[in-house]
Structure 1
Amino acid sequence: MIVWINGTHGVGKTTTAALVQRLVPDSRVLDAEKVGETLMDISPGLPWTGNFQHWPPWRPLVVETAHQVLDYTGGTLVMPMTVLVEEYWREIGDGLRQHGIPVRHFVLHADRDTLRRRIEGDTVMGPSDFRLAHLDAYDHAARTWLHAEAEVVDTTRLTPTDAAERIAVSLAG
């Protein structure tokens, strides 16, 4: 199974995923961003689109990477990755279904003011214009399709540990 942890940039997906991994037996974290980083390392580079998710190879490579890892290890993959384009989510989901891989899709949500404070106060990555620039895209996705496609965990007043525990309880239930 895949536990996909979605949400906007800076909401706490990577931190929460590591905590979920500790709570879910026989699980491991696969960050789909690493697939994008691999594509970014191609030299000379691929035509820049502003986001590696827009490169057509990224989505099937994420699917195939997850499929191969699960075939090799079994268990559960916890995948923290922002996907705000519905077409991309459908492509990934369809590809995983074709391999017979069940997906539990969670979205970490926080109100806009909380997100802005978290992004601007991030002591690890520092303030990020990239993260702030995606708040509108997240709002649009949340209103139009994303929240209807996932189990929403409102982290506005939760710690990452609390969010991870809610996900683990949902998975066990």
Structure 2
Amino acid sequence: MIIMINGAFGSGKTSAAKALQPLISNSMIYDPEEIGYMLRKLLPENYREENERTDDFQDIELWRILTVKTAKEVK
């Protein structure tokens, strides 16, 4: 089972996940923002598509692909 917590930046998603995680046996926290931070380092802005050149790594198509694939593999 995967429980996704969605919301705006700074809304408390990580805090909520940290509070819930000990209550759910055999659980872990998977933070797809870590993939975004990695991609920012690996893909300089000039290597990205025009529509991906924003401050939001969620606009990078590869982030969306890797987030799902990584979740499947971790599960």
TM-score by length of 2: 0.84
Aligned to 2:20: 20
CA distance in 2, matches of 1:7, 1:55: 18
The within-5 A match list for 1:1-173 is 1-42=1-42, 45-46=44-45, 47=48, 48-70=53-75
Q: Deviations over 1:14-38 (max 9, x none)?
A: 0110111111011000101001011
Indicate the residue corresponding to 1:138 in structure 2. Answer: none
RMSD (Å) for aligned C-alpha atoms: 1.2
More strand by share: 1
Q: What SS class does the counterpart of residue 4 from structure 2 fall into?
A: strand
The C-alpha deviation readout for 1:114-162, integer Å capped at 9, x for no partner, is: xxxxxxxxxxxxxxxxxxxxxxxxxxxxxxxxxxxxxxxxxxxxxxxxx
SS in structure 1 opposite 2:5? Answer: strand
Pick the structure with greater CA Rg. 1
* CA distance in structure 1 between the aligned counterparts of 2:9 and 2:57, rounded to whole angstroms: 14
Instruction: Identify unmatched segments of 5+ residues in structure 1.
Output: 71-173
Comparing both structures, which one devotes a greater share of its residues to helix?
Answer: 2
Larger relative contact order (Cα-Cα within 8 Å, sequence gap ≥ 6): 1
Q: Secondary structure at the match of 2:8?
A: coil
Query: Across the two proteins, how many residue pairs are aligned to each other?
Result: 69
Task: Compute the displacement of 1:50 (Å).
Answer: 2.2
Determine the C-alpha separation between the residues in 1 that align with 2:37 and 2:5. 19
Q: TM-score, normalised by structure 1?
A: 0.38
Letter of the 1:68 counterpart: E
- What CA distance in whole angstroms lies between the structure 2 residues aligned with 1:50 and 1:8? 14
